[in-house]
């Protein structure tokens, strides 16, 4: 036995040592150029307007830095990562190339920690891990490098307080998303803690209907089979509700769901009881909010088409694409490989679908066009820069050469 600490969540003080590698792996000179030009670049009839907040958020910056620091700190040790550090395939692949072994989630949503030994180091991702997984790894005695984002920890505190005070945590989120699984699991810190996850307003309405009229419980049990705590009883467990949300949901929808739940509790139990039966806290993180606000501003400034860059399983990227698609043709691309400038095609994941489609002639051949560009919180600048370069190339413009000639 040694007295070596086994739990770290405040960095190793190696930021200077890894800064060069981070810049090399994720920096984009083209993105910096756009920033210096007020986020707009126009060349020969093509204007790219970049949202003023996009890409890596503070939580992702911290998680990626911390993973690089862990590699530097423990060069001889086997390092594991629980799932993905963030939802970006390039960042995860980069960590793999540094010898970090990713423990993939099974179809059932579980992790197999059978290979982890007490000599190893395990990185916990920015979304956090469930309480059960945290306890299992703690029992192994390995070094834990916890990169869980502070904004996620805030949601955990809120949900834990609901469970402590006898409130069911109603979480606006995706029940299969790592962050929401981890958040929901916080109720297990208190005996009898309960949760229910609703994905959107339509699902929230089903719950609200039941609160108000008490009908259709069989349908609810079936619909929310995977989205409730074990032993959840719709008739017993919807009398006191605390609302929280996955940090990356659409903020307007989260607020509307909270208001709807409150309205239903008041309809059932009366206004006088509302304070005792309903609690709510907006747990959308400021980075998500800033990126959504910036997209709305970009749309208002006027764009003809939007390109949204980020992992297809990235919740916040999907929401940015949905906001754009309400106003202009919007293309959610994972990276620059989705754009073929010679064929003049773009391959993208259509909003609300899991499938990719290829669209030809997505940019007009010669007419002036303004393309709005944004990226999810897990997308590195280097990927944003590559996509912008190919947007210009689709119109035959070599952006680096064009800038050099100015
Ligand atoms: S999106 Fe928000 S909660 Fe998630 S890592 Fe970034 S700052 Fe943290």
Assess whether the C-beta atom of 60 lies below 6 angstroms from ligand 1: yes
| 248 CA → ligand 1 middle, Å | 7
Name the residue at shortest CA distance from atom 7 of ligand 1.
Answer: 59
Q: DSSP label at 104?
A: P
For the segment 52-71, the average pLDDT, to the nearest whole number, is 96
pLDDT-derived band of residue 282, with 50, 70 and 90 as boundaries?
Answer: confident
Please tell me the distance between residue 148's alpha carbon and the centre of ligand 1 in angstroms. Answer: 9
Label residue 325 exposed, middle or buried (CB < 10 Å: 0-12, 13-18, 19+): middle
The structure's pTM equals 0.92
Atom of ligand 1 nearest to the CA of 152: 3
Distance 161 CA to ligand 1 centre (A): 21
The runs of H, that is alpha helices, within 270-364 are: 274-277, 286-301, 315-325
Tokens in use for 395?
């119109």
Model confidence band, residue 4 (pLDDT cutoffs 50, 70, 90): confident
Instruction: Using alpha carbons only, give the angle 319, 323, 327 rounded to the nearest 5 degrees.
Output: 155
Residue 159 contacts residue 195 (beta carbons within 8 Å):
yes
Averaged pLDDT for residues 71-75: 97
pLDDT (tens digit per residue) in 169-228: 999 999 999 999 999 999 999 999 999 999 999 999 999 999 999 989 999 999 999 999
Nearest atom in ligand 1 to the alpha carbon of residue 150 is: 8
Q: Tell me: the pLDDT tens digits for 76-102?
A: 999 999 999 998 999 999 999 999 999
What are the structure tokens assigned to 245, written together?
């949300």
Determine the distance separating the centroid of ligand 1 and the alpha carbon of 397, expressed in angstroms: 35
Mean per-residue pLDDT, 129-146? 97
Closest ligand 1 atom, residue 126 Cα: 5
Ligand 1 center from residue 56 Cα (angstroms): 9
- Ligand 1 close to Cβ of residue 155 (< 6 A): no
Distance from the alpha carbon of residue 271 to the mean position of ligand 1, in angstroms: 35
Residue 167's closest CA among 226, 241, 103, 107?
A: 241
Q: Is 57 in the pocket of ligand 1 (CB under 6 A)?
A: yes
Q: Whose CA is closest to atom 5 on ligand 1?
A: 59
Q: How many CB atoms lie within 10 A of CB 351?
A: 17
User: Is residue 373 within 8 Å of 309, Cβ to Cβ?
Assistant: yes
Whether residue 39 is predicted with pLDDT greater than 70 in this model: the reply is yes
- Give yes or no: 212 in active site: no
State the Cα–Cα distance between residues 1 and 316, nearest whole angstrom.
Answer: 43
Portion of the chain with pLDDT greater than 90, in percent? 93
| Nearest CA, atom 2, ligand 1 | 285
91 pocket-lining for ligand 1 (C-beta < 6 Å)? no
CA-nearest residue for atom 8, ligand 1, is 59
Q: Which strands, in side-by-side order, build the sheet including 278-280? A: 195-198, 168-172, 241-245, 278-280
pLDDT digits (tens, 9 = 90+) for 233-268: 999 999 999 999 999 998 889 999 999 999 999 999
What is the number of the ligand 1 atom nearest to the C-alpha of 316?
Answer: 1
Identify the bridge partners of residue 224 per DSSP, sorted by sequence position: none
Residue 250 has a pLDDT of 87
Q: Which pLDDT tens digit goes with each residue over 148-169?
A: 999 999 999 999 999 999 999 9
Among 9, 53, 59, the mutation site with the greatest number of ligand 1 atoms within 8 A of its Cβ is: 59
Task: Kindly state the percentage of the chain with pLDDT values over 70.
Answer: 99
Q: Is the pLDDT of residue 1 over 50?
A: no
- Tell me what pLDDT residue 284 has: 85
pLDDT of residue 206: 97
Q: Helix or strand or coil: residue 268?
A: helix
Res. 340: pLDDT tops 80: yes
Q: Would the CB of 248 count as within 6 Å of ligand 1?
A: yes
pLDDT at 2: 57
For ligand 1, the distance from its centroid to the CA atom of residue 284, given in whole angstroms, is: 9
- Going by pLDDT thresholds of 50, 70 and 90, the confidence category of residue 309 is very high
Residue 370's pLDDT band (cuts 50, 70, 90) = very high
Kindly tell me if the per-residue pLDDT of 115 is higher than 70: yes
Q: Which two tokens stand for residue 271?
A: 């206004």
Residues in the chain: 406
Of 284, 288, 375, 380, the residue with max ligand 1 atoms within 8 A of its CB, to mutate for a pocket test, comes to: 288
Exposed/middle/buried for residue 204 (C-beta within 10 Å: 0-12, 13-18, 19+):
buried
Task: Considering the candidates 179, 203, 334, 386, report the single residue annotated as catalytic.
Answer: 179
Q: What is the DSSP string of 136-203?
A: HHHHHT-EEEE---HHHHHHHHHHHHHHHTT-EEEEES-TTSHHHHHHHHGGGGSTT--EEEE-SHHH
pLDDT higher than threshold 50 for residue 121: yes
- For residues 327-342, give the mean pLDDT: 97
């Amino acid at each position: 036995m040694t007295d070596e600490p086994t739990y770290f969540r405040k960095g190793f003080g190696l930021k200077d040592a890894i800064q060069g590698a981070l810049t090399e792996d994720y920096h984009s000179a083209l993105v910096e150029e756009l920033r210096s030009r007020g986020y707009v670049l126009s060349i020969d009839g093509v204007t790219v307007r970049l949202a003023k907040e996009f890409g890596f958020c503070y939580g992702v910056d911290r998680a990626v830095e911390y993973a690089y620091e862990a590699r530097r700190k423990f060069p001889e040790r086997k390092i594991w990562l629980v799932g993905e550090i963030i939802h970006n395939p390039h960042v995860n692949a980069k960590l793999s190339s540094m010898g970090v072994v990713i423990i993939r989630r099974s179809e059932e949503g579980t992790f197999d920690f059978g290979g982890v030994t007490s000599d190893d180091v395990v990185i916990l991702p920015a979304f956090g891990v469930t309480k059960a997984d945290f306890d299992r790894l703690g029992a192994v005695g390995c070094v834990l490098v916890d990169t869980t984002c502070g904004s996620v920890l805030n949601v955990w505190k809120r949900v834990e307080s609901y469970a402590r005070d006898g409130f069911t945590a109603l979480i606006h989120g995706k029940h299969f998303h790592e962050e929401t699984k981890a958040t929901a699991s916080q109720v297990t810190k208190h005996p009898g803690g309960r949760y229910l996850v609703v994905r959107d307003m339509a699902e929230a309405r089903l719950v609200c209907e039941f609160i108000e009229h008490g009908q259709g419980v069989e349908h609810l049990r079936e619909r929310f089979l995977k989205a409730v705590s074990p032993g959840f009883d719709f008739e017993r467990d919807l009398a006191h509700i605390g609302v929280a949300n996955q940090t990356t949901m659409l903020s307007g929808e989260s607020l509307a769901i909270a208001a709807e739940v409150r309205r239903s509790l008041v309809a059932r139990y009366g206004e006088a009881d509302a304070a005792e039966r309903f609690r709510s806290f907006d747990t959308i993180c400021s980075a998500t909010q800033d990126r959504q606000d910036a997209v709305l501003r970009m749309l208002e400034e006027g764009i003809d088409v939007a390109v949204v860059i980020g992992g297809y399983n990235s919740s916040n990227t999907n929401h940015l694409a949905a906001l754009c698609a309400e106003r202009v043709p919007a293309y959610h691309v994972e990276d620059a490989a989705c754009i073929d400038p010679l064929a003049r095609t773009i391959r993208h994941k259509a909003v609300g679908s899991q499938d990719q489609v290829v669209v030809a002639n997505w940019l007009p051949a010669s007419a002036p066009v303004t393309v709005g560009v944004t990226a999810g919180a897990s997308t590195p600048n280097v990927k944003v820069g590559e996509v912008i370069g190919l947007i210009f190339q689709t119109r035959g413009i070599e952006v680096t050469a064009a800038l050099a000639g100015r």
